[in-house]
Structure 1
Amino acid sequence: MHYYHIWSLALALALGACSQYEEMPSGKDYAATVITQQEQEIISLLRSSEYGWSLILIPDEGNHGGINLSMKFISDKEATIASEEYGETVEVPKDPKNPGAGTEQIYQTEFTSNYHFSHNSGLRLTFDTYNKPLNYYSDPDWGLPNGYNGDYEFTVDKVSPDKDVIYLTGCRTNNKMQMIRLKGDTKAYLEGTKVIKQAVTGKALAPLQLGGKQVALSIFGLARQLWVRYDDKSELHPFYYTDEGIKLIKPLTLGGETLEGLKLDKDKATMTTLDGKSKLALQLGKYDLTKDYLRLYFHQGYASDQALSVFNTANDIQWSDTYKAKYKEFIDLGQTPDVSRPSMRLKISEKGDLWDSFQPVYYLDFTSIYGEPNQFHTVRIIQYGLSYFYARRAQEWLLENLLYYSPYTVSEATDGHGYHWLTSPKDNDEFWCKVQ
């Protein structure tokens, strides 16, 4: 009887196990099969676009504005990516099939890398080999440790019914983005965005009437920020370029009226709101620091006590830091000939633990103020390279003060040595220095 109960129990367990496995998914319903099908479907969709897809990459939680990218998925594992901003001169074989033909230099804007899909909190698209137009915005060299804080991994949220839009979320930033099917050659579109950028960078617009308020607008073309002022408010609104103008990532709404973007008119002297209701003149100030620079002097007799205190404190911070140094008593502000972008640049004067050629550089952007040709305003963008690590405390002190006292007025009058006066209207002219 004892053995009978054991065999009865074993038979019941066996029958139960068989019943359990009968209820589990099999064939096309098996979990791994479903996952594989999802991946193959999205890969097939990506490869189905003859001209590829456009993506507005939004780094740094939108604080920098959006970047136009084009992506063409040329195989199940490779994609070619281009951007409105990145390109470089490379040397390639004249004839790949004939090594003796030598090489030639070309300007390359498209770069190929690998990609794959995985399942990690959803269906995830990862570009897993370095691609310069894309990884330019996640490279940690641009201001340690996070660079522009851009994405190279995206979660696929959904696909539009017509299969022309893929909705994504950046895995790093959590920004919502869209990949849109291109209907024509993307090169012409990307070139069009460059034309717009060149035409509007650093310019101010005539005041806009929006929702019963007068709104002042200026364009930070490199940072892709629209500087907006109304009442006692001063705001930055990120945008991205189109081949016709600029479009705000989040529209500005006041009093029931909305500004979504601006279209550059054919004369390139005015811009029109996207609803067509307002045409605004463009104005470039006399001191366009996106193309030129000013040298600000910080030594006795050349600057106010307030300005001297700011600079001397930065020097004290650097000298007491792990990497000791002192700086020459001037700052180059704007586009200098030997730096790739407009910036705030220092030069070393007295070396402690730093090398002689050390020059901290922090990239800035500049814009004009409508009706005030002698004024300019500035915002920070990002620091490139290791100088941020070595000089970050002193540099942050200078940056925060320079930004606090902005905008600035540059006097018309000069002395025999070509000096102008830089003053800050924000602080009743107590912050001032000589510039050249």
Structure 2
Amino acid sequence: MSFICGLPILECVSCLACARWVWKKCLYTAGYESENWGLATLEEFEPIPRICRTILAVYEDDIRNPQWAPEGGYGINPDWIVLRKDYGDNQGRVTPYMIYLDHDRAEIILAVSGLNLGKESDYAVLLDNKLGQTEFHGGYVHNGLLKAAAWVFDAECEVLRKLIADNPTYMLTFIGHSLGAGVVALLTMLALHNRDKLGIQRDKIKCYAIAPARCMSLNLAVRYADVINSIVLQDDFLPRTTTGLESAFKSLLCWPCLLCLMCLKDTFIMEEKKLRDPRRLYAPGRLYHIVERKPFRFGRFPPVVRTAVPVDGRFDHIVLSCNATADHAILWIESESRRALDLMLEKDQHTKIPPEQKMVRQESLAREHSEEYRAALQRAVALDIPRAYSPSSYGTFHEIDVEEDSEKSSGKGSSLSHKKRSESWNEFVEHMFDVDDTGHMVFKKTTL
């Protein structure tokens, strides 16, 4: 009898708890995540609108007769396009991409588009999450995206090597959107670990991931923040969702249910458990967050761009917002990033900073990024993030491999270090590919 009398009280407590959760989630906005981050400068944010337009150009069937060009066009010279590959050329292993030689800005650009749901293609490898995460150079990465990145690297390594040899002063820039952003983030890591095959220095490699998928563990996301940059617009769902990518894209008609379930899951997982889970994936590198809406206010406001190399609070919570999917569209990202850049330019022209002071400001920005980067690595160590290591000088991981450092600090023999250092790209490919009866290379069905 006493148990039956207690049921109404239990129901009231449960209802109050659920109401409190819903209230907190409705009040939670994307602006809270980056409110303590620093403001991005004109110099560091200047390439973003141009990069978005270059990625948009990959979607065009005929770049000389564009059908979807944004305001002002794509800003690229069709004669400088080295190659373009569509789904048929890629055998469904990766989304369309192109290599563009930008002589005006001294850049070799490899641009990868996002997933085009209107195209019929084999997305088995790109979206494959059944095999979970793959261990890669001291961390974990998304298995399907790594396979796609490895396919691109193996297919275009010789082309990139020749372009770099012919243009030794040019930057090698990887850019992509959505799943393509996850591919280029992992492709950048492959390029960094195989610089001898490309014939390029580390400081000549850069990556811009627009609305990226969560594709690497936290220690890798922080470690490569000096090379990889991620750009996220307000409430974008993909950099926040940890669900399997294949399931996510098969659930497009059930987004409200999916988002609510993911919110419940993320809300009731302890923060310490998230941070110390080595297989939990995150958005890569340094983050740029474009914020242009405010809570309890209608319409879009002048966009503000904030940047940081966060460790805890790294887009861990899905935002219940009607704009969660709209903010993922690259057209919106291009438009809002252009508005943000125009505001920065207006402010810069208003202050009339002399060229000498601009150079000093760029040097100061590099130092600030260096200090912030080192602080993020130290923060990762302090939080006991798995396989996080104390920082060396900014951008000098090419001098001493992180795995080698950890082995020395743990007292392991130098023979193991030498073995890891000597692992070649061909050995890596052997782990990922088999040869079928016809002599063609096919992806293995098992984990690496």
Question: What's the TM-score once normalised by structure 2's chain length?
Answer: 0.22
Normalized per residue, the structure richer in strand is: 1
Could you say which structure has the larger radius of gyration? 1
By relative contact order (CA 8 Å, sep 6+), the higher-ranking structure is: 2
Question: What's the TM-score once normalised by structure 1's chain length?
Answer: 0.22
Normalized per residue, the structure richer in helix is: 2
